[in-house]
Amino acid sequence: MTAEELRLSQPGPAGLWRQPLAHRAADLAAASGPGVRLRETPRLAMVNLRVRAGSAEAARAADALGTVLPAANAVAPATRGAVLWLGPDELLVVGRDGDAGDLVEQLTAACAGGRGSVVDVSAARAGVEVAGERARDVLAKGCSLDLHPRAFTPGRCAQTLLARANVIVWHLGENLYDGGYRVLTGASFADYLADWLIDASAEFA
């Protein structure tokens, strides 16, 4: 990497941030075909919320987000995005790029005076969208989840392992992205995830 590549395109820390898989866009496109389509997940605001289900803090957080907090392994649409259930006391709030600051402020206020944790994880996660009629077959190669539509319908999500990498698999549904899946992982695993998906898609592309 050269000094020129590190120059800020805009003042402040935001100018240093770039998509973890921006350099793999051509590879993902080349691996796509009639059966499977791959692309990097668009830049999103992602905020991790830890709050006890049924608590006053959870109720205030739901009101702030304009939603009802989701049940186990479900995704709830919210006023400014979606809320993913990750565990009994853990949620991932996903919004538009640039919304993280406002979401953190709203959720911190909701947890004030009680027990809860609010952390902006936007830069810590990366993902690949996997779509097409063979998308489920690709993921099934490295994932033990039952991804059949009768078990894992659109609007469902789960934390699991994909080819030994910790991921969140989110079934987006027809109305969001061609019936495809969003696979989120830690930013440091993004290249590994891309490499594995490219290889797993080869027979279908």
Residue 17: CB partners within 8 Å, gap ≥ 6?
A: 123
Among residues 70, 49, 69, 50, the alpha carbon closest in space to that of 59 is found at 69
Mean pLDDT value of segment 94-106: 95
Asked if 135 and 182 count as a contact pair (C-beta separation under 8 A), the reply is no
Distance (Å) of CA 136 to CA 36, 55, 71, 155, 193: 9, 37, 23, 15, 16
Q: Supply the pLDDT for residue 8.
A: 45
Same topology, domains 21-42+124-201 and 44-122? Answer is no
Give me the CATH topology for the region 21-42+124-201: Gyrase A; domain 2 (3.30.1360)
The helix or strand, by DSSP H or E, that contains position 108, with its residue range, turns out to be helix 100-111
Amino acid sitting at position 126: A
Residue 192 pLDDT exceeds 80: yes
Q: What percent of the chain has pLDDT over 90?
A: 82
Residue 145: CB partners within 8 Å, gap ≥ 6?
A: 139, 152, 158, 160, 169
The four Cα atoms 61, 65, 68, 74 give a dihedral, to 10 degrees, of: -100
Q: Supply the pLDDT for residue 174.
A: 57
Q: Supply the pLDDT for residue 173.
A: 72
Class of domain 44-122: alpha beta
Domain ranges of the chain: 21-42+124-201, 44-122
Residue 9 pLDDT exceeds 50: no
**Gap between the Cα atoms of 198 and 192, Å rounded:** 10
Mean pLDDT value of segment 78-86: 93
Q: Would you state the structure tokens that stand for residue 32, as one six-digit string?
A: 């796509």
Q: Would you state the structure tokens that stand for residue 6, as one six-digit string?
A: 């590190």
Distance (Å) of CA 22 to CA 36, 94, 114, 168, 187: 19, 20, 40, 20, 12
More confident residue, 80 or 39: 39
